[in-house]
Structure formats: structure tokens, C-alpha cells
Amino acid sequence: MLDAKYSELGVDDLKNMTMDTMADMTFEAVQEGDEGIRRDARVGAERVQARCAKQTSKEKREKVAVRRAEFLDFFKHNTDAGLSDRLLAVAEGVDQMLRQHRREAEQLPTAAERKEYIATHKCLIFRESLAALDILAIGLKEHSNIEILRLDGTLDQRQRDLAHHDFEEIEAGGPKNFSWPDVEPSQYLAMAGTVKVCAKGLTFIHALDVFILAPSCNPFIEDEVIARAIRRGQKNVVAVRRFYSSSSIESHILSLQASKRKKISKALDDDIVATRGLLIKDDDDHEFLEAIGIRHVISGLKRGVL
């Protein structure tokens, strides 16, 4: 109804309005010259544009869901086909760590302590590829009977919040109180998420083991996802396991990571910055341009990347 008041069309028509129609309305409003009409038309255009974008996003998600179902149908009927050496190693690692946590919990004297120990010793798995996480989830379910939570771009914000609360043992009234006999830990003791979704704004202090399935060209993205588990309130030592293939492109990515870390470290080192500043203070114009990398700028301009 808020959109309808900006238009002479009905609500049903407005829902089906195309961007071309709204553009024509905006043009007519601007021609009339009334500031209020122009403002209303602009607001209406923005809202319809957001609705169209949402519809487009929904259609894309539906198409992705169809392709995803077709892709995974094969692996659901051939559970060993998708478990490469790496995915198998990750699946075995998750299974091993969860079994170890259960054995350690059994040594505690009270039921409340055992339940809290299980709830605060979980696994996080990160990968940029959605398909790899899907195949891993199938393998964990079929081979180890481990069901995992998911946190990726296929979920809307409400579903992401529910997954986060389930992993962190949060109920409507706050964190679970395991001293109550009827309160049990979540059945989900592991979560798999994409790096893009999980890199910012989330806290997983119930995670004790972090698995990174492949290196990223940006090492600081990996630092961000690891930092999801190392937050205020984390009482345990977090173990991080990185997986990569030697003699492959991933070895080059690791070298690239080391180079980037070294360069950033130098750029942020106060002593190096101060020393370099003193060196270029007395340079002439040509030496100064060389110091700041003028050759790279010229090369970039010639290649059309700047």
C-alpha cells in the first residue's frame, strides 16, 4: 500500500510493473516540475527497483536450486564418488574430533558439565565452493551419520540467524542453561559455511576446531573466518587445520599469501615507514617518482588497467 499511493495504478498492477513503466512515470513527473511529485516518483522508482531486484534474485535462487538438486542427485546415490582425498580427510577429521570430544565429556562428573562440554566443542568448516560443502555434507551423513548446519548464500537472513543460534546454543530467552534436566545440546555439532558469508559479523565461540578446505588468494579473508571462533567469550584454544595440494596451483597461492603478508607487514611497520620517509625526503623529483612506483603506474595505464 505504501507503494500504491505514489502511483495512479492499482496495487496489483504496481506489483507487476516493469522498470520501463516506472521510468516513464518518473519522466512525466519531472516534466510537471512539481518538487513533491518528483520526490514521490523518485521514491516509487527506488521501491519498484528494489522489488524487481528481489524478484530477479528469487528467480536466480530458484534456478540455482534446480541445478544444485540435479548435481547432487548423482552423489546422493553414489556417496563415494564425490569424496576426494581431501574431502575424505576433512570428513574423517571432523568425525575424529567429535568422537574425541564425546570421550572427554564422558570423564566429567555431572550431566550438566557433560552437556555443556559437548555444546562448546564443535567444528567449523569453510570453503569458497558451495558444491564442495554439499558433497562433504552428504559424505558426513552417509559415512559417519553426522548432520551439519549450513551457512551460505542459499539461505535468507532468517535461516542464517536460526543456524547461528542453533550452533551457539541460543534459545529465545538467551543461552541454554544445561543445569536443567530437559535441556539438551543441539544435534548439530558441526557447521559448514562459505567464506564470503561467514567472513564478517558472526561469532562462533562454541567452535573448537576450524577446517579450511582450500587456501584463498587473500590471506586476510582466511584470518577473518578463523577470527569468527576466536572472539570474546571463547574459553578454549582453537585448532585450525588448513588443507592444500602440494605441486599444484594451491602451492603458488600459499607463496602469494606469504608475499602479501610480508608486504602488508612492511607497510604497517612504523620503523620502516619512518626510515623510508627520511630516505625520500631529500630525493629530487625523478627519484621521488621512482620511489613511489611511477613505473608501475605508467605500465598500468598502457595496459588499460588504471
178: Cβ–Cβ under 8 A, 6 or more apart, which residues? 112, 115, 116, 119, 185
Q: Is residue 184 a contact partner of residue 116, using CB atoms and an 8 Å limit?
A: no
Say whether pLDDT at 108 is over 90: yes
Q: Does residue 127 lie within any of the structural domains?
A: yes
pLDDT at residue 270 in the model: 65
The dihedral sign for the CA sequence 79, 212, 209, 199? negative
* 288/139 same-domain check: no
> Three-state SS for 242?
strand
* 105/132 same-domain check: yes
* 186/296 same-domain check: no
* 93/234 same-domain check: yes
* 88/205 same-domain check: yes
Given 50, 70, 90, which residue is the final one in a domain?
70
The mean of the pLDDT values for the chain is 76
Q: Does residue 260 lie within any of the structural domains?
A: no
Say whether pLDDT at 214 is over 50: yes
Q: Does residue 263 lie within any of the structural domains?
A: no
Q: Which domain holds residue 30?
A: 4-70
Map 85-112 to HEC letters: HHHHHHHHHHHHHHHHHHHHHHCCCCHH
User: Diameter of the chain by CA atoms?
Assistant: 79
pLDDT at residue 269 in the model: 66
In angstroms, the CA 28 to CA 25 distance is 5
51, with CB counted inside 10 A (0-12, 13-18, 19+), is: middle
Given 38, 70, 102, which residue is the final one in a domain?
70
* 90/206 same-domain check: yes
Say whether pLDDT at 109 is over 90: yes
* 88/220 same-domain check: yes
CATH number for 203: 3.40.50.300
Q: Does residue 166 lie within any of the structural domains?
A: yes
